[in-house]
Amino acid sequence: MVMTVEVLTSELVVPAEPTPGGSIWLSNLDLAGRRGYTPTVYFFRPNNGSDESTEGFFSPEAMKASLARALVAFYPLAGRLGLDAASGRVQVDCTAEGVVFATARCQDYSLEDLMNEFVPCDAMRDLLVPPTPPPNPPCALLFVQVTRMRCGGAVLGQAMHHSVVDARGAALFFETWAGISRGAKDCLPVPPCFDHTLLAARPAPARAVLYDHPEYKPEPAPVDPVSASAAYASAIITVTKQQVAALRARCVGASTFRAVVALVWQCACRARGLASNAETRLYSMVDMRARLDPPLPAGYFGNAVVRTSVSATVDEIVSSPVVHAARLARAATSQGDDYARSLVDYLEGVDTMNLPRSGISRAHLRAISWMGMSLSDADFGWGAPAFMGPALMYYSGFVYVMNAPGKDGALALVLSLEPDSMPEFRKVFADELARLHL
């Protein structure tokens, strides 16, 4: 891709009103996540494909004004990652210093050109999302860039610090910002909750680590060379509403996410040419907000996801009906309050800085659901995005399952695999989708 983006301005946007000071304590789940920024992109067509007026369409003044108002409610984002003076524990310092807001333009690509070629990768992240500093204290927590395309369309790229919030919380912020921008009457549908002590470890006598939690331990050295690799090829694949329905019919009792991930797992094992007796592990991330007892507030703004996994032999996955892999996926995504509390207690006794974060073995897969994030919630006043997704993939073996834009009931798979595995995966996956209707 020969696309160039010229950055025009970069400045700090601060809350529109005075906000609380002090610091926000971060939970073990915040500290156990990847310490870094999560970059995503939103693509907006000019006129949203209609003849309606585009007055003020993503104008820097309008976007900065609505962002400043959103930061009043989400004031921690305008602060900085800091350290507790006594313990050295990472926290959020509510300094109101602001978030980075950049504007840019691309004169050689239309939005349609970009959408035809876009896949998450380092190059896309570098073009469409502002550069970020090392993710350690003190650092800003949110970076935003609005890029105007040759056709008049816009790309909203952002990078939010993962130690502060997970994807669900980030979506709540952007829903609120978008609501303010378009003038919604109720632009704060769910008030954010910054009380991370709701996920604090229990006092020492009451702590109970009931599970092994292998997802938070380093992988043992592999017997054969199937180690993790930073090199990856990425793809965006649409699964139609009819294909989703046919797949769910094959996986009775499984959720849509589990059924789709089961098929991806099968096809990835085949495409990678793994030994039949090799172990393959499916990792997932489970949002615990509604699973805790009592549940977390709906607007909990922090990391409330836990890593889970299930393993099998490659032969077990590829030789069994897809429903078997779906049942295994259910075992990795059905944990409740006791599991989450066990994990928080376990993390209290380990150095969170030394947890594994660098990737997974070539034999494994990490699946994440973004299905609950409605694109219509990111309407800034000029229509819903034509696409939203990650700007890059961190390593090979990632798969996001999302609702496909503009296609009711269809799903978009955003995935990364080893460059030598991706062509075969595409073929195998397409063949399996075609067979669903036989």
Q: What is the DSSP letter of 298?
A: T
Under 8 Å between Cβ of 15 and 78: yes
Q: How far apart are CA 58 and CA 49, in angstroms?
A: 15
DSSP 102-148: EEEE-SS--HHHHHHH---SHHHHHHHS-----SSSSEESEEEEEEE
Q: What is the DSSP letter of 292?
A: S
Under 8 Å between Cβ of 410 and 239: yes
Q: Can 338 be counted among the known catalytic residues?
A: no
300 to 21, 163, 303, 383: CA distances (angstroms): 19, 14, 8, 27
CA torsion through residues 311, 362, 166, 23, sign: positive
Q: Which two tokens stand for residue 407?
A: 């296609």
In the set 30, 93, 287, 379, the catalytic residue is: 379
Q: Can 196 be counted among the known catalytic residues?
A: no
316 to 62, 215, 224, 375, 394: CA distances (angstroms): 55, 21, 19, 37, 28
CA 346 to chain centre: 24
Beta strands in 248-314 (DSSP E): 279-287, 305-313
Q: How far apart are CA 413 and CA 270, in angstroms?
A: 18
In the set 162, 196, 213, 364, the catalytic residue is: 162
Q: How far apart are CA 333 and CA 43, in angstroms?
A: 31
Q: How far apart are CA 22 and CA 79, in angstroms?
A: 10
Residues with catalytic annotation? 162, 379
